[in-house]
Amino acid sequence: MKKSICIEKIFLEAPFYERFKLVKDAGFEYVEFWTWEDKDIDRVAALLREHVLKVASISGDKLFSLIINEEREQYLEYLARSLKVAQTLKCEHIVIHSNGIDKGKVTHDGAGISYAKKIASMTRTLGRAAKMAEEAGVTLVLEAVNTYSMPGYFLNTTVEAGDIVRVIGSPNLKILYDIWHMQQMEGNMVHYLTQYIDVLGYVHIGDAPERHEPGTGEINFERIKRTLKSLGYDGIFGFELVPSESSVKCCEILRSF
Protein backbone atom coordinates (compact mmCIF):
# COMPACT_ATOMS: atom_id res chain seq x y z
CA MET A 1 0.00 0.00 0.00
CA LYS A 2 1.36 3.42 -1.01
CA LYS A 3 0.73 5.87 1.84
CA SER A 4 1.19 9.62 1.47
CA ILE A 5 1.28 12.23 4.23
CA CYS A 6 -0.30 15.60 3.45
CA ILE A 7 2.09 18.09 4.98
CA GLU A 8 -0.46 20.89 4.67
CA LYS A 9 -2.42 19.23 7.51
CA ILE A 10 0.01 16.92 9.33
CA PHE A 11 3.19 18.08 11.11
CA LEU A 12 1.97 21.66 11.26
CA GLU A 13 3.91 21.87 14.53
CA ALA A 14 7.00 22.41 12.37
CA PRO A 15 7.87 24.88 9.59
CA PHE A 16 7.05 23.61 6.11
CA TYR A 17 10.54 22.60 5.00
CA GLU A 18 11.20 20.69 8.24
CA ARG A 19 8.17 18.46 7.67
CA PHE A 20 9.91 16.33 5.05
CA LYS A 21 12.34 14.89 7.61
CA LEU A 22 9.48 14.32 10.05
CA VAL A 23 7.56 12.33 7.43
CA LYS A 24 10.61 10.17 6.76
CA ASP A 25 11.29 9.69 10.47
CA ALA A 26 7.66 8.61 10.89
CA GLY A 27 8.21 5.80 8.40
CA PHE A 28 6.57 7.08 5.21
CA GLU A 29 7.91 7.38 1.66
CA TYR A 30 5.43 9.81 0.09
CA VAL A 31 4.41 13.39 0.82
CA GLU A 32 1.81 15.59 -0.80
CA PHE A 33 1.10 19.30 -0.62
CA TRP A 34 -1.23 21.80 -2.22
CA THR A 35 -0.20 24.83 -4.24
CA TRP A 36 3.40 25.04 -5.43
CA GLU A 37 3.56 28.79 -6.07
CA ASP A 38 4.51 29.69 -2.51
CA LYS A 39 7.15 26.94 -2.29
CA ASP A 40 10.85 26.96 -3.17
CA ILE A 41 10.71 24.05 -5.62
CA ASP A 42 14.49 23.64 -5.84
CA ARG A 43 14.62 23.39 -2.06
CA VAL A 44 11.76 20.87 -2.06
CA ALA A 45 13.57 18.77 -4.67
CA ALA A 46 16.73 18.82 -2.55
CA LEU A 47 14.79 17.73 0.55
CA LEU A 48 13.23 14.87 -1.40
CA ARG A 49 16.68 13.65 -2.40
CA GLU A 50 18.11 14.13 1.09
CA HIS A 51 15.35 12.16 2.82
CA VAL A 52 14.66 9.70 -0.02
CA LEU A 53 11.03 10.77 -0.39
CA LYS A 54 8.62 11.04 -3.30
CA VAL A 55 5.87 13.59 -3.95
CA ALA A 56 2.59 11.77 -4.50
CA SER A 57 0.61 14.83 -5.59
CA ILE A 58 0.43 18.60 -5.81
CA SER A 59 -2.49 20.88 -6.66
CA GLY A 60 -2.54 22.20 -10.19
CA ASP A 61 -5.16 24.88 -10.76
CA LYS A 62 -5.51 27.28 -7.79
CA LEU A 63 -7.37 30.47 -8.87
CA PHE A 64 -8.91 29.33 -12.16
CA SER A 65 -12.10 27.33 -12.67
CA LEU A 66 -12.97 24.54 -15.08
CA ILE A 67 -16.62 25.63 -15.00
CA ILE A 68 -15.88 29.14 -16.28
CA ASN A 69 -15.68 29.09 -20.07
CA GLU A 70 -13.92 32.47 -20.16
CA GLU A 71 -11.09 31.21 -17.91
CA ARG A 72 -10.10 28.28 -20.15
CA GLU A 73 -6.86 29.72 -21.51
CA GLN A 74 -5.78 31.01 -18.10
CA TYR A 75 -6.57 27.63 -16.57
CA LEU A 76 -4.52 25.75 -19.15
CA GLU A 77 -1.64 28.20 -18.95
CA TYR A 78 -1.45 27.72 -15.18
CA LEU A 79 -1.78 23.96 -15.57
CA ALA A 80 1.17 23.95 -17.98
CA ARG A 81 3.28 25.54 -15.26
CA SER A 82 2.01 23.00 -12.73
CA LEU A 83 2.97 20.15 -15.05
CA LYS A 84 6.52 21.49 -15.29
CA VAL A 85 6.73 21.61 -11.50
CA ALA A 86 5.43 18.05 -11.30
CA GLN A 87 8.09 16.93 -13.77
CA THR A 88 10.81 18.69 -11.77
CA LEU A 89 9.69 16.91 -8.60
CA LYS A 90 9.01 13.60 -10.39
CA CYS A 91 5.46 13.86 -9.08
CA GLU A 92 3.02 11.56 -10.87
CA HIS A 93 -0.29 13.20 -9.88
CA ILE A 94 -1.79 16.68 -10.03
CA VAL A 95 -5.04 17.31 -8.18
CA ILE A 96 -7.52 19.47 -10.09
CA HIS A 97 -10.86 21.00 -9.16
CA SER A 98 -14.06 22.25 -10.76
CA ASN A 99 -13.62 25.65 -9.14
CA GLY A 100 -10.61 27.75 -8.37
CA ILE A 101 -9.74 27.61 -4.66
CA ASP A 102 -7.82 30.22 -2.70
CA LYS A 103 -7.33 30.19 1.08
CA GLY A 104 -9.92 27.46 1.48
CA LYS A 105 -12.69 29.19 -0.46
CA VAL A 106 -13.89 28.99 -4.06
CA THR A 107 -12.80 31.90 -6.23
CA HIS A 108 -15.91 31.73 -8.45
CA ASP A 109 -19.07 29.77 -7.67
CA GLY A 110 -20.44 30.09 -11.19
CA ALA A 111 -23.58 31.88 -10.06
CA GLY A 112 -25.75 32.68 -13.08
CA ILE A 113 -24.13 30.01 -15.26
CA SER A 114 -26.37 27.07 -16.19
CA TYR A 115 -25.54 23.52 -15.14
CA ALA A 116 -25.25 22.49 -18.79
CA LYS A 117 -22.77 25.26 -19.57
CA LYS A 118 -20.64 24.36 -16.55
CA ILE A 119 -20.46 20.72 -17.61
CA ALA A 120 -19.71 21.69 -21.22
CA SER A 121 -16.96 24.08 -20.16
CA MET A 122 -15.40 21.49 -17.85
CA THR A 123 -15.46 18.80 -20.51
CA ARG A 124 -13.94 21.02 -23.19
CA THR A 125 -11.15 22.27 -20.92
CA LEU A 126 -10.43 18.83 -19.48
CA GLY A 127 -10.10 17.37 -22.95
CA ARG A 128 -7.23 19.73 -23.68
CA ALA A 129 -5.80 19.36 -20.18
CA ALA A 130 -5.71 15.58 -20.52
CA LYS A 131 -3.66 15.82 -23.72
CA MET A 132 -1.20 18.10 -21.95
CA ALA A 133 -0.93 15.60 -19.10
CA GLU A 134 -0.33 12.74 -21.53
CA GLU A 135 2.55 14.63 -23.12
CA ALA A 136 4.01 15.44 -19.70
CA GLY A 137 3.65 11.92 -18.33
CA VAL A 138 1.57 13.09 -15.37
CA THR A 139 -1.91 11.97 -14.29
CA LEU A 140 -4.56 14.57 -13.43
CA VAL A 141 -6.98 13.53 -10.69
CA LEU A 142 -10.30 15.39 -10.58
CA GLU A 143 -11.72 15.85 -7.09
CA ALA A 144 -15.35 16.06 -6.01
CA VAL A 145 -15.73 18.05 -2.77
CA ASN A 146 -18.49 18.45 -0.19
CA THR A 147 -20.53 21.64 -0.24
CA TYR A 148 -20.63 22.02 3.54
CA SER A 149 -16.96 22.84 4.03
CA MET A 150 -16.62 24.34 0.53
CA PRO A 151 -19.82 26.30 -0.29
CA GLY A 152 -20.18 27.06 -3.99
CA TYR A 153 -17.99 24.17 -5.17
CA PHE A 154 -19.66 22.68 -8.23
CA LEU A 155 -18.46 19.09 -8.54
CA ASN A 156 -19.73 17.17 -5.53
CA THR A 157 -20.62 13.60 -6.57
CA THR A 158 -18.68 10.60 -7.81
CA VAL A 159 -21.11 10.15 -10.70
CA GLU A 160 -20.47 13.64 -12.08
CA ALA A 161 -16.70 13.43 -11.76
CA GLY A 162 -16.47 9.84 -12.96
CA ASP A 163 -18.75 10.25 -15.96
CA ILE A 164 -16.91 13.33 -17.21
CA VAL A 165 -13.61 11.47 -16.92
CA ARG A 166 -15.06 8.48 -18.78
CA VAL A 167 -16.34 10.67 -21.61
CA ILE A 168 -12.90 12.20 -22.12
CA GLY A 169 -11.33 8.76 -22.02
CA SER A 170 -7.71 9.68 -21.33
CA PRO A 171 -5.37 7.36 -19.41
CA ASN A 172 -3.94 10.48 -17.78
CA LEU A 173 -7.23 11.79 -16.39
CA LYS A 174 -8.76 10.00 -13.39
CA ILE A 175 -10.83 10.85 -10.33
CA LEU A 176 -9.63 11.50 -6.81
CA TYR A 177 -12.05 9.88 -4.38
CA ASP A 178 -11.92 11.70 -1.04
CA ILE A 179 -13.60 9.48 1.53
CA TRP A 180 -14.26 12.28 4.02
CA HIS A 181 -15.89 14.50 1.39
CA MET A 182 -17.95 11.74 -0.20
CA GLN A 183 -19.22 10.31 3.08
CA GLN A 184 -20.89 13.67 3.64
CA MET A 185 -22.21 14.07 0.10
CA GLU A 186 -23.41 10.59 -0.83
CA GLY A 187 -22.27 7.78 1.47
CA ASN A 188 -22.64 4.31 -0.08
CA MET A 189 -18.91 4.37 -0.68
CA VAL A 190 -18.36 0.69 -1.47
CA HIS A 191 -20.95 1.00 -4.23
CA TYR A 192 -19.37 4.07 -5.83
CA LEU A 193 -15.81 2.80 -5.53
CA THR A 194 -16.88 -0.41 -7.23
CA GLN A 195 -18.82 1.34 -9.98
CA TYR A 196 -16.00 3.77 -10.79
CA ILE A 197 -12.90 1.66 -10.16
CA ASP A 198 -11.99 1.97 -13.86
CA VAL A 199 -11.37 5.70 -13.46
CA LEU A 200 -10.13 5.74 -9.86
CA GLY A 201 -6.70 7.34 -9.72
CA TYR A 202 -6.19 8.45 -6.12
CA VAL A 203 -7.82 8.05 -2.69
CA HIS A 204 -7.83 10.56 0.14
CA ILE A 205 -8.36 9.27 3.67
CA GLY A 206 -10.04 11.04 6.58
CA ASP A 207 -12.69 9.78 9.00
CA ALA A 208 -16.06 11.51 9.34
CA PRO A 209 -17.30 13.73 10.77
CA GLU A 210 -14.15 15.36 12.21
CA ARG A 211 -11.63 14.44 9.50
CA HIS A 212 -9.30 12.74 11.95
CA GLU A 213 -7.48 9.40 11.66
CA PRO A 214 -9.33 6.23 10.63
CA GLY A 215 -11.05 4.75 13.67
CA THR A 216 -12.02 8.07 15.23
CA GLY A 217 -15.34 8.41 13.42
CA GLU A 218 -18.12 6.53 11.67
CA ILE A 219 -16.50 5.12 8.52
CA ASN A 220 -15.80 1.40 8.14
CA PHE A 221 -12.31 1.65 6.68
CA GLU A 222 -11.62 -2.08 6.92
CA ARG A 223 -14.51 -2.72 4.53
CA ILE A 224 -13.27 -0.01 2.19
CA LYS A 225 -9.73 -1.41 2.19
CA ARG A 226 -10.99 -4.92 1.48
CA THR A 227 -13.12 -3.61 -1.37
CA LEU A 228 -10.29 -1.66 -2.98
CA LYS A 229 -7.92 -4.61 -2.64
CA SER A 230 -10.44 -6.96 -4.25
CA LEU A 231 -10.91 -4.46 -7.09
CA GLY A 232 -7.18 -4.33 -7.74
CA TYR A 233 -6.57 -0.73 -6.67
CA ASP A 234 -2.83 -0.24 -6.16
CA GLY A 235 -2.64 3.54 -6.14
CA ILE A 236 -1.96 6.15 -3.49
CA PHE A 237 -3.78 6.45 -0.18
CA GLY A 238 -3.26 10.08 0.78
CA PHE A 239 -3.78 11.02 4.41
CA GLU A 240 -5.28 14.49 4.03
CA LEU A 241 -6.62 14.70 7.57
CA VAL A 242 -6.35 16.59 10.84
CA PRO A 243 -4.49 14.80 13.66
CA SER A 244 -6.74 14.26 16.68
CA GLU A 245 -3.70 14.63 18.94
CA SER A 246 -0.06 15.17 17.94
CA SER A 247 1.19 14.49 14.44
CA VAL A 248 3.58 11.85 15.80
CA LYS A 249 0.72 9.92 17.43
CA CYS A 250 -1.34 10.38 14.28
CA CYS A 251 1.38 8.81 12.13
CA GLU A 252 1.68 5.86 14.52
CA ILE A 253 -1.97 5.11 13.73
CA LEU A 254 -1.55 5.72 10.00
CA ARG A 255 1.41 3.34 9.71
CA SER A 256 -0.88 0.46 10.65
CA PHE A 257 -3.67 1.50 8.25
pLDDT tens across 82-133, in order? 999 999 999 999 999 999 999 899 999 999 999 999 999 999 999 999 999 9
Taking the domains of the chain in order of start, what are their residue ranges? Answer: 2-255
Q: What is the pLDDT of residues 226-251, one digit of tens each?
A: 999 999 999 999 999 999 999 999 99
Can you tell me the distance from the alpha carbon of 78 to that of 129, in angstroms, rounded to the nearest whole number? Answer: 11
Q: What is the mean pLDDT of residues 164-169?
A: 98
For residue 14, name the pLDDT band (cuts at 50, 70, 90).
very high
* Beta carbons of 143 and 161 less than 8 angstroms apart: yes
| Residue 189 neighbours by CB distance under 10 Å | 19
**Which H or E run includes 177?**
strand 173-178
**CATH fold of 2-255:** TIM Barrel (3.20.20)
DSSP state of 138: -
What pLDDT is stored for residue 135 in this prediction? Answer: 99
Q: What percent of the chain has pLDDT over 70?
A: 100
End-to-end CA distance of the chain, in Å? Answer: 9
Can you tell me the distance from the alpha carbon of 194 to that of 201, in angstroms, rounded to the nearest whole number? Answer: 13
What pLDDT is stored for residue 163 in this prediction? Answer: 98
What pLDDT is stored for residue 198 in this prediction? Answer: 99
Q: What is the pLDDT of residues 188-235, one digit of tens each?
A: 999 999 999 999 999 999 999 999 999 999 999 999 999 999 999 999
**pTM for the full predicted model:** 0.97
What pLDDT is stored for residue 50 in this prediction? Answer: 99
> Amino acid identity of 18?
E
**108: Cα separation from own chain's centroid:** 20
What's the CA dihedral at 85, 91, 93, 99 to 10 degrees? -30
Q: What is the mean pLDDT of residues 30-37?
A: 97
Q: What is the mean pLDDT of residues 32-54?
A: 98
Can you tell me the distance from the alpha carbon of 159 to that of 182, in angstroms, rounded to the nearest whole number? Answer: 11
What pLDDT is stored for residue 17 in this prediction? Answer: 99
